[in-house]
A and B are shown apart, each in its own frame.
Chain A
Amino acid sequence: MIETLSQPWPWWVAGPLIGLIVPLLLLAGSKQFGLSTSFRQICAATAPGQIEYFRYDWKRGMWRLMLILGIIGGATIAATLLASPDPIVGISPATHADLETLGINDFKGMVPSEFISWSGLLTLPGFVMVVVGGFFVGFGARYADGCTSGHAISGLSTFQFSSLVAVLGFFAGGLVATHLLLPLIFGAW
């Protein structure tokens, strides 16, 4: 049982299970799945300043912070008790080849640890991916009023046109990052 669960899960198992979180949150207390609002809450709790966007009752979204604590704990369980026997990610050979051309050689774990690691922060690609990438994830998600969970999953599943526009934006930005910015910062342009 544990052996089966320790293998990476195929999309047709992981996808429907992620989808189930939407009705589970609705039934648990009429909550809408969306995680990037937590950034607004944390800013409001720690450094609201005189900024109107952060002067609101962030504690009303305490349930979301509880959900996130759970995510961190669940991920730790998955990484330890259910750790995959093979640490090398099973991506398509084409992606593997493309990323090698870019200059990535270590395919173990969840991130390319030559760059996305503490020592990797001292490299240009590592710094841009973690710091600049992180900044835009936070800025963009709040500007767009939602991220992958709020727009792509909650929004699309309730047929909201604004979420479709946001998701198309996510992909446009991701394609630019993948096909223009990554080659640029890796010097493979």
Chain B
Amino acid sequence: MNERRILLRYVPLGVFLGIVFTKGEVISWFRIQEMFRFQSFHMYGIIGSAVAVAALATWLIKHRGMRALGGGEIETKVKPSAGLNYRYWIGGSLFGLGWGLLGACPGPIYALIGNGVSVMFVALFAALAGAWAYGYFAPRLPHH
């Protein structure tokens, strides 16, 4: 199977995700506010059950020694488990500031564009500017 056809298999997975993000209201600014005000279980239930299902399924894949489509080996751990490094807590807190204001993390930014909230193109452009600024300043930022 050629590379292009292999890439096409990720499109339906995205469609699935876009539908769930929208119908589960994960992309709702109001739902994110509700979460950060601890006034509903909705978002905690979503994140918690998503993590539980992902953990169980990943364990099963490793435990059974399952292989990817086409026979490749499955690698489940790529991020180094480096603990309390600066980048995780400083970067994480800055991301949280943005998440609280915008009410959308990267996946939902794309999903909101699909929902016709066209001003999210501005948010996407701002996020790209932020990512670019990170790349520019990265050599001078504390990471470890």
Interface residues of A (CB under 8 A from B): 5, 8-9, 11-33, 35-36, 38-40, 42-43, 47, 49, 51-54, 62-64, 66-79, 82, 89, 91-92, 94-95, 98-99, 107, 109-112, 116-118, 120-121, 128-163, 165-179, 181-182
Q: How far is the CB of B115 from chain A (nearest CB, A)?
A: 4
Complex Cα distance, B39 from A131, in Å, reads 27
Determine chain B's interface SS by DSSP, over half rule. helix
Which residue in A38, A128, A177 is a CB contact (below 8 Å) of B36? A177
Q: Do B77 and A18 touch across chains, with their CB atoms under 8 A apart? A: no
Query: CA of A140 to CA of B129 in the docked complex: distance in angstroms?
Result: 11
| Among candidates A66, A79, A169, residue contacting B91 with C-beta atoms closer than 8 Å | A169
Q: A-B pairs with the 9 shortest C-beta distances?
A: A70-B14, A173-B96, A169-B92, A74-B18, A14-B24, A177-B100, A140-B95, A138-B130, A75-B114
Residues in chain B within 8 A of chain A (CB atoms): 6-37, 39-55, 57-58, 60-61, 66, 68-70, 72-85, 87-107, 109-119, 122-136, 138-139, 141
Among residues of B, the one whose C-beta sits closest to the C-beta of A9 is: B23
Q: Which residues of B contact A138 (CB under 8 A)?
A: 98, 126-134
Q: Do A69 and B14 touch across chains, with their CB atoms under 8 A apart? A: yes
Please pick, from A131, A167, A176, the residue contacting B92 in the complex, using a CB distance under 8 A. A167
* Interface-centre pick from A12, A25, A147, A167 (highest chain B CB count, 10 A): A147
Closest chain B residue to A73 by CB distance? Answer: B15
